[in-house]
Amino acid sequence: MADAFTVMDCAILARTTGHEVQSLRELRDALLKVEPQSIYYHFWGGLLRPTFDDPEFMNDFAVWAGRELRDRTLAERLAMVDPATPPTMEDLREELLDVVEARLDELDRPLWAGRDRQFNFLAAEITVIPTRYRIEDPHVLPEVLRQVSRGSLFYHFVDARRRRDDGLDDLRAWLIGLDDEQFAPLIQQLAGVDPFQGSLARLRAQLADAVARGLQEVAA
Amino acid sequence: MSELLSKYAAVVGEDVVDQLLGLARSLNGLKVVHVNSTRVGGGVAEILTKMVPLMQELGLDTDWEVITGDEQFYACTKTFHNALQGNPVVPTRSQLDAYEAVNAANADELRDTLRDADIVVIHDPQPAPLLGQIPERRGRWVWRCHIDLSRPHRPVWKYLYPHVSGYDGSIFSLSSFARRLPHPCYLIPPSIDPLADKNCDLPQEEIDAVRQQFNLDPDRFLVTQVSRFDRFKDPVGVINACKMVRRYVPGLQLVLAGGTATDDPEGAEVLREVQEAAGSDPDTRILLLPADAHRTINALQRASDIVLQKSTREGFGLTVTEGLWKGKPVIGGNVGGIRLQVHDHHTGFLVDTPEGAAVRMRYLLAHDHARQRMGTRAREFVRDNYLLTRHVTEYLALFHTVLEGRSERVEVA
């Protein structure tokens, strides 16, 4: 039997990087040199930040392109950059650069934001702490998922995909480690959860659905 | 869980308090000292009044020290405040001398406490030179700047830079407020305390009593701006906006409620300007409230149909947070931290002019449903993002980070 699953929690602290850009070309130049933690922050940090934006564009680069540069084409293309797919942060950086440079090639005039509407590159500092929740039996998952903080959801289902070499979330990785065939339907249901398509509240609801369906299949 | 933490859990949820406890566990006994320049009046003092007891409750050995100065010192720091927000003003040489002398004298008073602290948080420019006065310090020092430094008057920033550049880190409320400094600059928005007299739920009778106290008619609309009498808050613009709205909403009542902070020598002068602009209009009440009139302010905000904060420069704008927490739509100036809190059609409206404020007031006063819908969303928005518990969570994360030395990821056992 594998170890119990210890639910962790995390707090994210934003830090400035000193890179502030006002035009598309400046964005491209900054993307070349900004630290990887900044790219991380602008793809995932939004989930733990106050916002009222409809998650039409799921990363800060796309939001800025659409709202401040007023270039919807670019915003849509940036929004389609999937942070879960590239194997490393450097690969993700390359994808972003591809999109931005392709757009620069298409445009015959510079794109500028207003003077107080620059894009400030921030970086994420993460503090990780253990919680009192330890899961030994997957059947308690519905109860635990209801009670844990947004930070726990972020850590295990969002951060995990970047942190882990296998690209899994922590819960699936633990279930696989149990090496118990009966939980295969649960693992499969969890695989269908996309943490990058909404808020953490939505993610909690998605997880609750997936776990309920998965455990039903396990029981059947 | 202690009684105090249980009260917070009842408002924000147990998961949030669990997170606080988790972050605080390994910081138990950590000696933390906050330093600012006023015990009462203004957002910083209000935050510290509530943050310090909560940190203590979480097991951190937390103190709050206040530096004291003379008239020249406060004149200097008020000039700093104005200049750092973009006004082209500079303190006189004698004011700067007083600034440095006051800090040296306060450093002597506080030397033992500050030297031995594990973490020292210096709030705003007033006590910033303390760092240079305590070379034997053994802990980490962080400068917490509550002011919008996005476009400072450069001579003043150049003067202050050497006083703040030696810190181990800085905290700003917004990324756009931060300036380039040779140490990590963290972003932590401020907060309000839901348990404080200013923000707790009030019985209807108490709200009615405050209406009666200030002769406010419950059957007519009321809009309120609560803030210091400070030109950046544009109280005269608010009066003018209400004059425009009264063409369509006769009898609209306006309350401008403010106080004076001990470190704000300009307040009386601005108050005179505001009284002059209001003239003899019986529906404009200008209230100069004592610094401890928290429940009165709470009641005025709850009695209002709309809360205004038509600032032309703003740090974060905690009066906006307070208004939103009372379930009121806020019409706020399109500046600073108000932009983080007021989202058009969701929690209120951002405006750039008195005319803009008038247009939005007119709309909201004509649409009861919109006012209620925005008010409901406003309260939940604050619950999720701008309460003291979130603020302390980020401070604790910061303490872990600065104690660890710079690190992208701190794993706490």
Per-residue tens of pLDDT for chain B, all 413 residues: 899 999 999 999 999 999 999 999 999 999 999 999 998 877 789 899 999 999 999 999 999 999 999 999 999 999 999 999 888 999 999 999 999 999 999 999 999 999 999 999 999 999 999 999 999 999 999 999 998 888 899 999 999 999 999 999 999 998 989 999 999 999 999 999 999 999 999 999 999 999 999 999 999 999 999 998 988 899 999 999 999 999 999 999 999 999 765 556 678 888 899 999 999 999 999 999 988 899 999 999 999 999 999 999 888 888 999 999 999 999 999 988 898 899 999 999 999 999 999 999 999 999 999 999 999 999 999 998 899 999 999 999 999 999 998 678 899 88
Shared domain for A142 and A119, answered yes or no, is: no
Domain match, A16 and A110 both: yes
- Residue of chain B whose Cα is closest to the Cα of A11: B397
Domain total of chain A: 2
Q: Give me the amino acid identity at A77.
A: R
Q: Which residue has the higher pLDDT, B303 or A218?
A: B303
Contacts of B176 in chain A (CB under 8 A): 116, 118, 120
Torsions phi, psi of A87, nearest 5?
A: -65, -35
Any bridge partners for residue A73, and if so which?
A: none
Residue ranges making up the domain that contains A99? 12-123
- What is the residue type of B384? D
Burial class (CB in 10 A: 0-12, 13-18, 19+), B272: exposed
Residue B255 has phi, psi (to 5 degrees) of -115, 125
Partners of residue A150 in chain B, C-beta under 8 Å: 15
Contact call for residues B249 and B255 (beta carbons, < 8 A): no
Q: What is the mean pLDDT of chain A?
A: 91
pLDDT of res. B263:
55
How far apart CA A202 and CA A194 sit, in angstroms, is: 10
Q: Kindly identify which residue of chain A lies nearest to residue B181, measuring between CA atoms.
A: A18
Residue A51 Cα, gap to closest chain B Cα (Å): 8
**Which of B173, B188, B186, B190 shows the shortest CA–CA distance to B382?**
B190
Asked if B138 contacts B394 with a C-beta cutoff of 8 angstroms, the reply is no
**B105 phi/psi in degrees, rounded to 5:** -65, -40
Six-digit token string for A6: 């210890």
A45 and A65 both lie in a single domain: yes
Indicate whether A30 pLDDT > 90.
Answer: yes
Beta carbon pairs, A and B, within 8 Å: 95
Rounded-to-integer distance, Cα A47 and Cα A45, Å: 5
Domain layout of chain B by residue ranges: 3-191+387-404, 204-385
For chain A, give the longest Cα–Cα distance: 62
Give A12's strand partners. A126
Class of domain B3-191+387-404: alpha beta
User: For residue B205, what are the CA distances in angstroms to B77, B289, B352?
Assistant: 41, 20, 36
Amino acid symbol at B397: A
Strand partners for B319: none
The H or E element containing residue B142 is: strand B140-145
- Do the chains contact at B178 and A149, CB–CB below 8 Å? no
Residues A159 and A99 in one domain: no
Q: Which of B257, B259, B199 is nearest to B226 (CA)?
A: B257
Cβ–Cβ gap A9/B22 under 8 Å: yes
Shared domain for A164 and A92, answered yes or no, is no
Is A94 found in the same domain as A158?
no
How far is the C-alpha of A122 from the C-alpha of B185, rounded, in Å? 10
Residues A32 and A100 in one domain: yes
Q: Which residues on chain A are in Cβ contact (under 8 Å) with B400?
A: 127
Closest CA to A54 of A73, A79, A71: A79
Q: Which of A118, A125, A147 sits opposite B408 (nearest CB)?
A: A125
Last residue of a domain, one of A99, A123, A147: A123
Query: Within this chain, do residues A173 and A80 fall inside the same structural domain, yes or no?
Result: no
Torsion of CA B362, B368, B372, B375, to 10 degrees: 10
Say whether A149 and B188 touch across the interface (CB within 8 A). no
**Sign of the CA dihedral running B378, B384, B385, B387:** positive
Using alpha carbons, list the distances in angstroms from residue B57 to B44, B46, B52.
20, 18, 9
Cα Rg, chain A, nearest whole Å: 19
Based on the domain organization, do A113 and A19 belong to the same domain? yes
- Co-location of A105 and A141 in the same domain: no
Tokens of A19: 């890179």
Cβ of A125 within 8 Å of Cβ of B340? The answer is no
- Chain A residue whose CA is closest to B348: A52
Last residue of a domain, one of A123, A154, A173: A123
Q: Using a CB-CB distance cutoff of 8 angstroms, which residues of chain A are in contact with residue B412?
A: 127-130
* Higher pLDDT, residue A150 or A57: A150
pLDDT of residue A199: 81
Residue A145 sits in the same domain as residue A189: yes
CA–CA min distance B14, chain A (Å): 8
Q: What is residue B222's three-state secondary structure?
A: strand
Q: What is the pLDDT of residue A108?
A: 87
What pLDDT is attached to residue B261? 55
Looking at the complex, report in whole angstroms how far the Cα of residue B116 sits from the nearest Cα belonging to chain A: 25
| CATH dotted code for B204-385 | 3.40.50.2000
Query: Which residues in chain B touch residue A115, judged by CB atoms under 8 angstroms apart?
Result: none
Based on the domain organization, do A81 and A182 belong to the same domain? no
Q: Which of A6, A54, A60, A129 to mutate to test the interface with B (most CBs of B within 10 A)?
A: A129
Beta strands in B188-258 (DSSP E): 222-226, 253-258
**Where among A123, A145, A176 does a domain terminate?**
A123
Considering only CB atoms, which residues of chain B are within 8 Å of chain A? Answer: 14-16, 18-19, 22-23, 25, 150, 172, 175-176, 178, 180, 184-188, 340, 343, 346-347, 381, 384-386, 393-394, 396-398, 400-401, 407-413
Both tokens of B280, joined, read: 């003899």
